Structure formats: C-alpha cells, structure tokens
Amino acid sequence: MEHKEYHSINKPVRKKDAMQLLLGKPVYTDDVTPRDALVVKILRSPHANAMVEEIETAGALKIPGVVAIYTWKDVPQNRYTNAGQTYPEPSPYDRLILDRHVRFAGDAVAIIAAETEKAALRAMKVIKVKYQVLEAVLDPHTAKDNPVLVHPEEDWYPPCPVGGDNHRNLVASETNSDGDIEAVLNSCDIVLDRTYHTKAYNQAMMETFRTYAEMDAYGRLHIVSSTQIVFHVRRILSRALGIPKSRIRVEKPRIGGGFGAKQTSVSEVYPAFVTLKTGRPSKLIYTREESQIAGSPRHEMEIHVRLGADKDGRIRGIDLYTLSNSGAYGEHGPTTVGLSGHKSIPLYTGNLEAYRFSYDVVYTNVQAAGAYRGYGATQGIFAVETTVNELAERLGIDPTVIRDKNMVREGMQMPAYYNETANACALDRCMEHCRQIFHWDEKYPVRDMGNGKVRAAGVAMAMQGSSISNVDVGSATLKLSEDGTYNLIIGAADMGTGCDTILAQMAAECMDCSVDDIAVFGADTDASPYDSGSYASSTTYITGKAVEKACSQLKEKICSIAAEMMGCGTEEIVFGGRQVRRISTGQTLTLEEIGYKSQVFNNQAAEVTVSCSSPVSPPPFMVGMVEIELDKETGHVTILDYMAVVDCGIAINPALARIQTEGGIVQGIGHTLMEDIQYDQWGKPIESSFLQYKIPTRLDMGRLRVEFENSYEPTGPFGAKSIGEIVINTPAPALTHAIYRATGVWHREIPITPEQIALSIQDK
C-alpha cells in the first residue's frame, strides 16, 4: 500500500460552496430563475388504474391567468423512460408525457400553465375528468401473469434485453449462478430459509423536484433543473418532446439534495413541454406531497434467502430470490434489483462454494420507484446480513467471528460480483477496528437495566461498487488561466456531497497548486464535457480518474508551450507547479508567463478534456455496530451508539467522507425504525407529508462515530474507491440484530416500529 504525503488530497478542505450555502445565498433553481415565469401545475389521478374517458378543460381555460392546459391529446406519442441511465437504457420505454391510461394514484393527467399559482390551482379544481376506473394491481406477489396489465400498450419497448414482458407485468427477470447450489445446500449442516420485506422509502431530500424552462437567445430550449444527470435529461427530453438534442441545453445550479431521486427525470418534461408550446418561461416546483407520492422512491423488495452453512459456521451456499416492485413505470427496475444479490452475496466469498441469484421485477399500480442511494444493495444486504446474524445466534458463534471466518478478503475473486477480484479490501481490518472502538465484547451481551429497559448490540457489514463497470463515463476539462490558476469543468453534479471540492483537491494535488487555484464549474450540457452524471458511486472514482488524467495531459501541454517559448524540445522541460524549468540551463518560466503566451499568437490550446471509464467497479467495504436501549413495555428503541469503520480506499476529503457516512447511517436508521410507506385499499399512498412520513431528527440518532481503514485501489485516483452509497446499508441489519438480542424476536420487515416490537414481545 502507498504511504504518500499529500498536500491537497486526504485533507479536510472546506467545500468550495460552503460559505455561500451557510449564509443563505440564492443558488438553487427557484432562486436563480425569474419569479414571473408561468407557474406549472400537474393535475394528478386519484385512481390507481384508470382510463381518462373525457377531460373537459374549457371552463378552466376561462379562469383569468390560465394560459394553457394540456392533456393526453396534446403530447407526442414517443414512449420513453425517465431513468437517468446510459443509452440504451435498461429501463423500458413505457411513458408518455401524458397518457390516457393513468397507472397510479398521482399519475399525471393534465399540465396546467398559468400566470399565478392561484390561477393554476383554481384551474386544477375546475378541470372535469371522467375516468373509467379499472381494477388495480396492488400486490406485487400476484402481479406477474396477472390478467390485469399495468402496461397493455403495444408500443411498450425495452431498449435492452432484460427479461421483461409487458404482457406479464414483468419489467425484468433473470437467474444467474455459480456452482451447484442445490447440491451444496443439501450437504450443509444447517440451511436457513428466510423471507424479508423492505419498503419503497422516499429520499426526502430537502429540496423537492423542480425545473425551470425558457427559450434562450438562439431559440433553444434552456432547462435549469435540480438534477444529478444533465446529459441524460437532455437525451430524455429530446426523445419525449421529439426535438433534436442540439435544440436543448440543460444545466443544474446548486442542488438541495438528491440521493438518487434526481437520477430520474421526474419534473423536467412538464415545464419543457409548456415552454416549447407557449414560447414562454415556465417553472414547476413540486410540493412535498408531490415529491412523496409522485417522485422516484426506493424499490420495495421481498427477498427470499436460503443460506447454508456447516456447524462450525462456514457459509457454503447462498440462494437468493428477489421480487422487486417497480410500481407503475420501470425506471431503474431492471438494474436496482441486480444489486440486491450482486452486492450482498460477495460479502461471503470466503468459503462460498455455490450461489444462485434470481429475480423478477414487476409492474404494479403504485408510484414508480427509481434510484435511491444503495440502489438495491441496501435491500439485499438487509436480508443476507440478517440471515447471517440469525445463523450466528443459532450456532452460538459470535456474529463478528462468523464474519471473520467467511468474509471476502483482499485478493479473492468474487464469483457473485462478476468474477471481479477484490484488489483493495480492508473489510477484515474494518471489523477488527470497529470491534475495538465499539467495545464489542462488552456490549454484545444483553444487559437488563432493571427498569424495564434492555441494552443490546448488533452488527452488519456492507459493500457497494464504484461506478457502473464498462458503462459510466466521467470527464474533466482543465484550462490554464493567464494568472496561472485553473478552471476545472465537469459534467458530474455536486448535489451537496462536495464533489466539486474533492475533484478540485485532486487537481490541486496533481498540478502542485492550492485548492483555491482551481475554479470548478458544473454542470451544463453546453459547457461541460460529457459525464454520465453523479450516481452509482461513480464521481470520486471515475470523474476523479478523469481529473487525474486531465492534469497529466495539461502538464504536457504547458511544457510544450513553454518549450516553444524557450526554443527547446518538450523533453527538456519539467513541470514544477508554479513554474516550469529547462533542465539543461536552469531557465524558468512562470505559469503566468505561459498563460499569457497561450493567449498570444498560439496554436496549442492550454486546455485538455479527458474522458474515463472503468472495466471494474471496485467495492468499498464497511462494518457498522449499534448499541440500543429498548423499552420492553413500549417497544421504543433508543440508539445509544452507532459506530462504523469504512474502507473507501483513501478518503480524498476525510471531513466530507465522514459526513457522508454519518448522513447515510441516519437515513438508514430512519428506514429501519420510523419511515413507512403504506397504501390504502384503493392504492392511495398514506404517508404523503412529513407529518406522516417521519424522517430522523437530531434526537433520533444517538452518538455516531466514524473511522476509516485505508486500502489502495489500483484503478482509482490516488487509490480511492467510493463512499456515497455504501454508508446507508448497515443500519437495517445491525438494528434488526440488536432488536433481536433485546427481545428474542427477529423482525423480517422494516420499518420495525415500537408498536411492532411491543406486540412481538407480547406474542412471544
């Protein structure tokens, strides 16, 4: 492993936008766009499955201030997907901007554009819609081959072969395996056969979905949107609206959180359509309710695990089947499900002789799911880690020790992870480190506090990936300015995570300058080099690598310009940060001199653009341990301590990596203990506001402690892997474990509410 002294990376540098954000400067979509744009509102279906038989808009159009109302009759008939994925998208083309067939309670029925919000809301009440209400498919278990079809249309189209069939309500289906799983399980001393259920959690980012549209000076459609994926949005709009990409520009200002929600083009198409039709600027700001009921939450999954082991705790076989509920549309359906197996089973590569992973992804008449931090791995890891904890408890082996025996270690090839090799893996050290700081040996035993309360502990491991191998493209443009500073231009989207800053840190490290000397801009389809976008834990790893490469190419350019200035060969010039030097003579030129020269009679651009992709997706690893105090009478769980040790390769910015980890853990705590998604018998969502959908407050998370164990990923920038997603994966299994320790009951569905805990203790 490298032990290098760095001057810019591996330092807790402040985020470049920190003071602007903390002082409340106007930097978000609604702040930076005109306030007199047309207000766009969406009339939404009250029914889970219905045909719009008649829609009467004449009365609403008479309301003063109402400018336009569009229905299914007015929109192009090109089916598309809202999923922010590389073309050809694995997600099926199953959407129209407005469809006569509405498929969930909340689906768009009409687009209203008005001078004021009041007029738009009045119009919403006056539009008369006659629905033919259809039977809805609400239970994912009976969705496949149900006679009621969510997508009966003939022009449903899957750009990729992922095993989907709209005539079977199937978004995707697949089986893959290694070894003879049935033979292995048959020869195991113990086989646990368990089923787990996770819900369609909402990202609940503080800034809801929002988009502004206008026609620019060239008559092109200019979109300003809170999105993680400017280039994918451009492509999606081009297909949905039927206009060329050259007529669309998409940019993102600061983003008020994404967590994957904004990896789907949820809100962009509506104002884009209004502006294209009316020629006027328009803006759509989702209410919190709309974000809750018509966003792009996590895929609800039911995961069936069969895990076989020997009495000594050797885990020999895992058979996993996932039923994933994609809801009314297929965004990210075929891909999220893959992670439920491919990022859970490989944790136990150690002694694994065989695995099988199969899945079905189904359509139902509920809100469509999308991408959410963890992207299926979260669900799979809950299932596999809980099964392993149960195995340990059954066999009477310490759950951390059973993991020591079976975990993936550096150098192992992982059959369940596309046969990739774990070239950088400190999972074993993460476990040891976490055991130490948590004082596992003291906290693992259950302690009755004598007042009706019990203290107990739980543990879980996790992995994720770093980018989508063979797919994601990260790019960086680096330009020299005449004062010797640099512009770094990216297409990745900083959604608050700090990628603008950590990429600048990498550039500063390479160019041997200060982070302040790197000005970062992103992202704008007109100005940025192509980048798939910020998702799939890709930015540090892929865009970071692009930055590293761009720096080395720009140094060559700078040396080449300098060589011309000094009348010598480039090979004679060495780059030295603020200046370059000619080895033979010792003559130097400052970057400022070279920068100015690049603007006078010059044929070599003092800038480079580099793209980068990776054939592998190196997993970060993590261990989380939690201590709880559980009230046996009320079922209330108080988190006392949550400790985590993460192997993300090297933390480019330890402060930001730590915050990522803490934030992910608290989101995971929310999913496990309080955030719930329920539908009434007609398929209407119940938790449609923060009154019902409770996310953790600062009173709900106990004390957090996060530390790191470094590894060195040879394909990553400076040895780095990813951090953004993995951190949400340990709370569900670790808390479920601790709750079992305290109560003797395994909960296999999350969230685990106080009521469920109290009732489960009574039932025992």
Partner 1 sequence: MEIKLTLNGRPVTGQIEPDCLLIDFLRDHGCLSVKRGCDTANCGLCTVLMDGKPILSCSMLAARAAGHSVQTLEGLQEEAADFVGFIADQGADQCGFCNPGFVMNTIALLREIPDPTDDEIRSFLAGNLCRCSGYEGQLRGIRSYLESRREKGDSRHGA
Positions touching partner 1 (CB under 8 A) are: 12, 14-15, 17-28, 30-31, 35, 118, 203-208, 254-259, 287-289, 495-498, 653, 655-656, 658-659, 661-667, 689-691, 695, 697-699, 701, 703-704
Length of the chain as a residue count: 764
Q: Least distance (Å) from partner 1 to the CB of residue 655?
A: 4
Which H or E run contains 405? helix 399-406
Q: Least distance (Å) from partner 1 to the CB of residue 397?
A: 32
Residue 345's SS3 state is helix
Backbone φ and ψ for 487, nearest 5 degrees, come out as: -110, 125
Which CB atom, from 163 or from 257, has the smaller least distance to partner 1?
A: 257
Which CB atom, from 503 or from 610, has the smaller least distance to partner 1?
A: 503
Q: Least distance (Å) from partner 1 to the CB of residue 26?
A: 4
Residue 600's SS3 state is coil
**Residue 123 DSSP class:** H
Q: Least distance (Å) from partner 1 to the CB of residue 697?
A: 5
Which CB atom, from 3 or from 35, has the smaller least distance to partner 1?
A: 35
Which CB atom, from 207 or from 627, has the smaller least distance to partner 1?
A: 207
Strands 579-582 and 588-590, bridge-based pairing: antiparallel
Exposure string over 405-414, b if 16+ CB within 10 A, otherwise e: bbbbebebeb
Which CB atom, from 217 or from 691, has the smaller least distance to partner 1?
A: 691
3-state helix, strand, coil in the chain (%, to 5): 30, 25, 45
Peptide bond before residue 523 is cis, with ω within 30 degrees of 0? yes
- In this structure, the number of other CB atoms found within 10 A of the CB of residue 147 comes to 7
Which CB atom, from 546 or from 652, has the smaller least distance to partner 1?
A: 652
Which CB atom, from 276 or from 493, has the smaller least distance to partner 1?
A: 493
CA distance 701 to 141: 34
Which CB atom, from 677 or from 695, has the smaller least distance to partner 1?
A: 695
CA distance 293 to 688: 6
Q: Least distance (Å) from partner 1 to the CB of residue 692?
A: 9
Which CB atom, from 665 or from 750, has the smaller least distance to partner 1?
A: 665
Q: Least distance (Å) from partner 1 to the CB of residue 111?
A: 21
Q: Least distance (Å) from partner 1 to the CB of residue 227?
A: 13
**Residue 467 DSSP class:** S
Assess contact for 140 and 333: CB atoms under 8 A.
no
Q: Least distance (Å) from partner 1 to the CB of residue 202?
A: 10
Q: Please list, in sequence order, all residues whose beta carbon lies within 8 angstroms of the beta carbon of residue 751, skipping any fewer than 6 positions away.
A: 199, 671, 672, 673, 674, 675, 676
Q: Least distance (Å) from partner 1 to the CB of residue 502?
A: 10
Which CB atom, from 207 or from 428, has the smaller least distance to partner 1?
A: 207
Q: Least distance (Å) from partner 1 to the CB of residue 498?
A: 6
Backbone φ and ψ for 334, nearest 5 degrees, come out as: -70, -20
Assess contact for 644 and 434: CB atoms under 8 A.
yes
Strands 573-575 and 579-582, bridge-based pairing: antiparallel
Assess contact for 333 and 160: CB atoms under 8 A.
no
CA atoms within 13 A on the CB side of 738: 36
- In this structure, the number of other CB atoms found within 10 A of the CB of residue 485 comes to 18
Over 234-268, what HEC string results?
HHHHHHHHCCCHHHEEEECCECCCCCCHHHECCCC
Which CB atom, from 11 or from 239, has the smaller least distance to partner 1?
A: 11
CA distance 661 to 567: 52
Q: Least distance (Å) from partner 1 to the CB of residue 175?
A: 36
Name the token pair of 26: 């106007």
Which CB atom, from 205 or from 407, has the smaller least distance to partner 1?
A: 205
Closest CA to 184 of 351, 354, 347: 354
Closest CA to 386 of 461, 300, 492: 461
Q: What would you report as the CA-atom Rg of the chain, rounded to the nearest whole angstrom?
A: 27
Q: Least distance (Å) from partner 1 to the CB of residue 693?
A: 9
Which CB atom, from 254 or from 597, has the smaller least distance to partner 1?
A: 254
CA distance 716 to 708: 17
Task: Please give the order of strands across the beta sheet that includes 621-631.
Answer: 447-448, 453-463, 621-631, 637-647, 703-708
At 359, which amino acid appears?
Y
Which CB atom, from 600 or from 691, has the smaller least distance to partner 1?
A: 691
CA-CA distances (angstroms) from residue 136 to 229, 272, 333, 376, 683? 32, 31, 19, 25, 8
Q: Least distance (Å) from partner 1 to the CB of residue 18?
A: 4
Which CB atom, from 165 or from 676, has the smaller least distance to partner 1?
A: 676
Q: Least distance (Å) from partner 1 to the CB of residue 438?
A: 16
Q: Least distance (Å) from partner 1 to the CB of residue 290?
A: 10
Q: What is the widest separation between alpha-carbon atoms in the chain?
A: 88
Q: Least distance (Å) from partner 1 to the CB of residue 643?
A: 12
Which CB atom, from 23 or from 600, has the smaller least distance to partner 1?
A: 23
Which CB atom, from 50 or from 656, has the smaller least distance to partner 1?
A: 656
Closest CA to 307 of 417, 407, 195, 400: 195
Name the token pair of 303: 């995961």
* Cα angle: 6, vertex 10, 11; to 5 degrees: 95
Over 143-165, what HEC string results?
CCCCCCCCCCCCCCECCCCCCCE
Q: Least distance (Å) from partner 1 to the CB of residue 656?
A: 4
Q: Least distance (Å) from partner 1 to the CB of residue 601?
A: 44
Which CB atom, from 266 or from 566, has the smaller least distance to partner 1?
A: 266
